[in-house]
Amino acid sequence: MKIFNRLTRAARREAGFSLAEMLVSMGIMTVVMGATAAALSSVSKMRDSASLMTGVNNSLRTGMDLMIRDMLQIGSGLPPGHIILIPSGIGALQMNIPGPPGTSFLTPAGDLDWAAVIPGNSLGPTINGVQTDTITMLMADNNFVDMPLTAITNTTIDVKATNTAGQAINIQTGVDRLQTGQLLMLEKGSNTTLVQITDIDYPTRRVTFANDDSLKLNQTAATSGNVKALRAAAPTDTLVNGAIQTSATRVRMISYYLDTTVPLHPRLVRRVNNGHPTTFNNALGTAVAMDIENLQFTYDLLDGKTNPSNVQFVAGDYTASGACTPNACSQVQIRKINIVIMGRSTNPMPGNTKVFRNVLTSQVSLRGMAFVDEYLAP
């Protein structure tokens, strides 16, 4: 009997969990696993949300940093007044101004010059019901300033082999390199003109700016503002110490605008000059920031009277009844640019149908326009 009882107790010990115990343990395990999965899902959503927000902020900072870097150089190296003459008068054609795909901006009829800043209020694409802005800016390239020339015609210049300091000018390689599509400001005294390079012969150092360039800057038929008018201005171009009285400075024309070629992912485009020497194409340019859906510029002016701020340069501002009343606003009075740029996340936030948006603002004082080097030798 004692042996039977011992066997019975041993069998009970080896029987395992009862059904009730199994159900209870499974329930507890399900609750624990559910809580763990929910926590992991929440962490995953937070990580994805943080990644989307970081992407937006990085894109905004990249675009803003590039614009600020370029704007700090606006007007540098340009003549007093920060303007360059362009072909005008009888026989002159309106010039092309870069802009978003599908646009065809031209200089206003009768314009005599290009200012260092060309505002483009509401000339960009409409995104979410808001009309965006564009901007085009001019500045000298400090690597190629006041280079001496040995000869000039209405469509060519010959670049001297050395600069005024006797250093070699290598127009084929290095920082002095000239390429088709680049812009040159030719300057003699107070007279200037802007041309676009269409061909270069490196052995002879001859640079050509033939008619029908992509920006329509090279116009031999115009009566004013072109190379022909520059050559006719005093003094006569004669060789003195191996150089004529006209010099050449490389100019960069940089434009910013939004491109909605892919409507769901608008991008901020930075475009240098036209990008092609003979064919005007607004599909050119480099995307520097993605998913940017708003770009706005306003301007602070120095007119010596009211010094208006946040001027948009709408049509009325160019008249005496605009923001600068009783005078018309002038682009050469611009001293600061206020920037507003807004971006959005590439995809909706996890578990949500809404995208993340952020806005970045900044104000840039134009060093090339606001400050003048007046240090004189003792």
Q: Which two tokens stand for residue 368?
A: 């090339």
pLDDT number for residue 86: 96
What is the average per-residue pLDDT within 269-280? 93
Average pLDDT over residues 265-282: 94
pTM for this prediction: 0.85
* Beta strands per DSSP E along 144-285: 147-152, 156-159, 183-188, 191-196, 199-201, 206-208, 247-259, 267-272
Q: Per-residue confidence at 240, pLDDT binned at 50, 70, 90? A: very high
Task: Please report which confidence band the pLDDT of residue 343 belongs to, taking 50, 70 and 90 as the band edges.
Answer: very high
The stretch 316-337 carries a mean pLDDT of 93
List the beta strands (DSSP E) in the chain: 83-85, 96-97, 105-106, 113-115, 117-120, 126-127, 130-131, 134-140, 147-152, 156-159, 183-188, 191-196, 199-201, 206-208, 247-259, 267-272, 286-290, 292-301, 334-344, 357-365
What does the pLDDT read at residue 368?
Answer: 78
Residue 348 identity (one-letter amino acid):
P
pLDDT score of 376 = 40
pLDDT tens per residue, range 291-315: 999 999 999 999 888 899 999 999 9
- As beta bridge partners, residue 196 has 183
Check whether 116 has a pLDDT greater than 90.
yes
C-beta separation of 225 from 92 below 8 A: yes
Whole-angstrom distance between the N-terminal and C-terminal Cα of the chain? Answer: 127
Q: Per-residue pLDDT averaged across 242-259, rounded?
A: 97
Segment 197-209 mean pLDDT: 97
Task: List phi, psi (to 5°) of 39.
Answer: -65, -45
CB-CB contact of 107 with 41 (8 Å): no
Residue-wise pLDDT tens digits, 31-49: 777 776 666 666 566 666 6
- CB contact at 8 A, 357 and 56: yes
Sign for the CA dihedral angle at 245, 85, 77, 277 comes to: negative
pLDDT at 47: 62
Q: Is residue 210 scored above 70 in pLDDT?
A: yes
What pLDDT is attached to residue 373?
46
Q: Which two tokens stand for residue 101?
A: 């795909």
Residue 29 has pLDDT above 80, yes or no: no
Predicted confidence band of residue 3 (pLDDT cuts 50, 70, 90): low
CA trace torsion 54, 58, 60, 65 (10° rounding): 150
- Phi, psi (degrees; rounded to nearest 5) at 249: -130, 130
Paired strand residues for 351? none
**Full strand arrangement of the beta sheet holding 292-301:** 292-301, 334-344, 357-365
- What mean pLDDT, rounded, does the chain reach? 89
Which of 118-127, 132-141, 195-204, 320-329 is predicted with the least confidence, judged by mean pLDDT? 320-329
Q: Helix (H) and strand (E) counts for the chain?
A: 4, 20
> In a 3-state reduction of DSSP, which class is residue 11?
helix
**Mean pLDDT, rounded, for 113-141:** 96
Q: pLDDT tens, 42-91?
A: 656 666 666 767 888 999 999 999 999 999 999 999 998 899 999 999 99
What digits encode the pLDDT tens for the residues 12-26?
A: 555 566 777 677 777
* pLDDT surpassing 60 at residue 121: yes
Structure tokens belonging to residue 243: 């150089």
**pLDDT value of residue 375:** 42
pLDDT for 346 equals 84
